[in-house]
Amino acid sequence: MKERDELLDKYSAKVFKNRKQHITQLEFGEEADTITANTRAVPGSMTARGCCYAGCKGVVVGPMKDVAVITHGPIGCAFYSWGTRRNKAKSDPESDNKNFIPYSLCTDMRPTDVVFGGEKKLEQAIDEVMDIFNPKCMMICSTCPIGLIGDDVQAVARRTEQKYGIKAIGFSCEGYKGVSQSAGHHIANNGLMRYIIGTGDKKPKNNFSVNILGEYNIGADGWEEERILKRCGIEVTSVFTGDGSYETMKNAHLAGLNLVMCHRSINYVAEMMKTKYGIDWIKVNFIGVGATCRSLRMIAKYFNDPALTARVEEVIAEETAAISEDMAYYKSKLSGKTAGIFVGGSRSHHYQLLLRDLGMETIMAGYEFAHRDDYEGREVIPFIKSDADTKNIEEITVQPDAELFQKRYTEEEIAALKADGVELDTYDGMFKDMKTGYMVVDDYNFHEVDALGKSMKPDIIFSGIKDKYSTMKDGVGSRQIHSYDYSGPYSGFTGAVIFAKDVVMALYTPTWGLVKAPWKNEPLLTGTLTGGEA
């Protein structure tokens, strides 16, 4: 296909050979479209990817408000992951009125610590953190030098537990592990599963209780989701991990169902909880009005309670009525426009549905750190070849819990629910919501976003800060889909309207009309034309 060929044309033979496997222009032919993902980035390509630490500390454990997360390493990583990811949190009595979100804790290693080892300084730091903050849970996140110099953060965590009687977890999430943030997600999932989930005994009060997994409360998305679920009469036991807490996560295993938002970053926990406690999970998407309605209906079908089903329909009717006028207006401004989305590991899919609500098509999309199942659906998992980088990331195996394992449904009932459209214990991936000719780019880099913007000419590109200003300088609209450009929420019903308003703003800001200076259009020499009428 033309655009794909053009895009790859710039590359040398070696890079071409690599990148062509990561770029798929969808055909939906007899053979299924495939893509290569979760492999090493090409050095020098200007990949948008971050590192394992960013996935573990930055994404998964950082948002837990009552946890003192200590970054063990030189100062940089703690600095960059401080207050920059918009995972909003409010302190409450349940989490001991603690809120570590505006704090950044770091051992700030110096040359002597690197040469002689940093464990001593880490233990000193832990003593001081206990003295100042007295947290019930502490986590230590390792940066690059830690593994290399041999500091044992797990051993330090165990000693901390003994010394202070608190929960302490060490994460070996050095930046070089794996090939992207994805390795860090997995390492974080393992830690939460091994040490926190299942350690509490506070049962949900309600018959219908859920955990929201992979919801980081960027721009208050999680709060909008909780608002809707609460209106439906569904209790949220815990959120992983936006505005989440150690205190609530302990009881996550007592919830009735897991809802998975960001499949990439949290599917490990969902799967392990299913094996260990028998809790099913549904792949939900609260981004988009249609997607939110579908997600709520899947939850209702799962719990299979007439009163709940009726209540869900009532809420859907009320909420959609409340926003219908606004949505119709924004749709009139946006219908027929096209978009590109380049984000982390789930939103490139989620936002396509919200844009479709507004009459927009996403003609190009890509993920920073997704795996093949995020593109093609979980059915491809058995066929994914595991390479050395993936094998280095620990895969933990859990067994059904002797006391707590409890299955709600038989295999036949599960199959019936799936047949009824419930995305139960699986995820169908992004491809299926896209159309022929649309471009999918795995591990997109700066050149590719820039070149695709020029060749496929979308009206707007949703991406991160690193691509934002180059996109705009090219005359293409831009919204950040990592940070929402400090707006939000974009989820649920309220969020859909805010998102629509922001997209209209990005495309219709009058400043776009001022880019060209008037003297660029008018010649300097003026005079009267002779031979005609003056």
Partner 1 sequence: MLDMTPKELKERKGITINPCKTCEPVGAMFFALGVHKCMPHSHGSQGCCSYHRTVITRHFKEPAIATSSSFTEGASVFGGRSNLTTAVKNIFDIYDPDIIAVHTTCLSETIGDDVGSYILDLEVPEGKLVIHASTPSYEGSHIQGFSNMSMGFINYLTKKTDTLNGKTAIFPGWVNPGDCREMKRIAAEMGAEVTMFPDFDGTMDSPMTGKYEYYGEGGTTIPEIQQMGDSENLIALGTFASGESFHLMRKKFKTEGMLLPMPVGITLTDKFVMALRTLTQHEVPKSLEQERGRLVDMLMDAANYTYHKKAAIYGDPDVVYAMTSLCLEMGMIPKYVITGTPKSEFEKQIKELIASYSIEEECVVKADTDLFYLHQLIKNEKVDIMIGSSYGKYIARAEDVPYVRAGFPVLDRYGAPIQTICGYTGGVYFAEKIINALLDRFDRDVSDEDFECVL
DSSP track, 158-186: HHHHHHH-SEEEEE---TTSSSSHHHHHH
Residue 213 — φ and ψ, nearest 5°?
Answer: -100, 140
* Contact call for residues 187 and 177 (beta carbons, < 8 A): yes
Q: How many other C-beta atoms can be found within 10 angstroms of the C-beta atom of residue 329?
A: 14
* Residue 85 bears catalytic tag: yes
Helix (H, G, I), strand (E, B) or coil at 209: strand
CA angle 233, 235, 237 (to 5 degrees): 175
- Active-site residue 54, yes or no? yes
CB of 306: closest distance to partner 1 in angstroms?
A: 46
Q: Of 37, 48, 52, 54, which one is the catalytic site residue?
A: 54
Round to whole Å and give the CA distance between 85 and 44.
26
- Nearer to partner 1 by Cβ, of 161 and 305: the residue is 161
451 counts as catalytic: no
Q: Which residue has the tokens 């994914």?
A: 384
Q: How far is the CB of 72 from partner 1 (least distance, A)?
A: 10
Nearer to partner 1, 121 or 378 (CB): 121
Q: How many CB atoms lie within 10 A of CB 518?
A: 7
| Number of Cα atoms under 13 Å in the Cβ half of residue 234 | 33
Distance in angstroms (rounded) separating the CA atoms of residues 65 and 137: 10
45 vs 251, beta carbon nearer partner 1: 45
Closest CA to 505 of 533, 526, 534, 485: 485
Q: Of 76 and 421, which has the nearer Cβ to partner 1?
A: 76
CB of 137 to partner 1, least distance (A): 14
Nearer to partner 1, 120 or 203 (CB): 120
- Strand, coil or helix: 146: helix
Taking a C-beta distance cutoff of 8 angstroms, is the pair 249, 189 a contact? no
Please compute, for residue 51, the number of CA atoms within 13 A of its CA located in the half-sphere on the CB side: 14
Q: Could you tell me if 213 and 266 are in contact, meaning their C-beta atoms sit under 8 angstroms apart? A: yes
Other residues' Cβ atoms within 10 Å of the Cβ of residue 475: 11
Q: Which is nearer to partner 1, 174 or 425 (CB)?
A: 174
Within 10 Å of residue 124's Cβ, how many Cβ atoms? 11
The least distance separating partner 1 from the CB of residue 470, rounded to whole angstroms, comes to 4
Q: Are 172 and 57 in contact (CB under 8 A)?
A: no
Closer residue to partner 1, CB minimum distance, 28 or 103? 103
| Active-site choice (37, 41, 48, 51) | 51
List the alpha helices (DSSP H) in 103-143: 111-116, 119-133
Tokens representing 241 are 């991990």
| Length of the chain counted residue by residue | 534
Q: Closest separation between CB of residue 324 and partner 1, Å?
A: 35
How does DSSP classify residue 233? T
What residue ranges in 10-133 does DSSP mark as E strands? 23-25, 67-72, 105-106
Q: How many CA atoms lie within 13 A of 207 on its CB side?
A: 9
The question of whether 347 is a catalytic residue gets the answer: no
Q: Which is nearer to partner 1, 58 or 242 (CB)?
A: 58
Shortest CA distance to 243 belongs to which of 264, 227, 263, 258? 227
Query: Least distance to partner 1 from the beta carbon of 104, Å?
Result: 5
CB of residue 177 to partner 1, shortest distance in Å: 6
Minimum distance of partner 1 from residue 181's CB (angstroms) = 8
The single residue of 4, 19, 22, 85 carrying the catalytic annotation is 85
Minimum gap (Å) between residue 113 Cβ and partner 1: 7
Minimum CB distance to partner 1 smaller for 278 or for 464: 464
Cα 374 to Cα 426: distance, rounded to the nearest angstrom? 11
Catalytic residues, which ones?
Answer: 51, 54, 85, 185
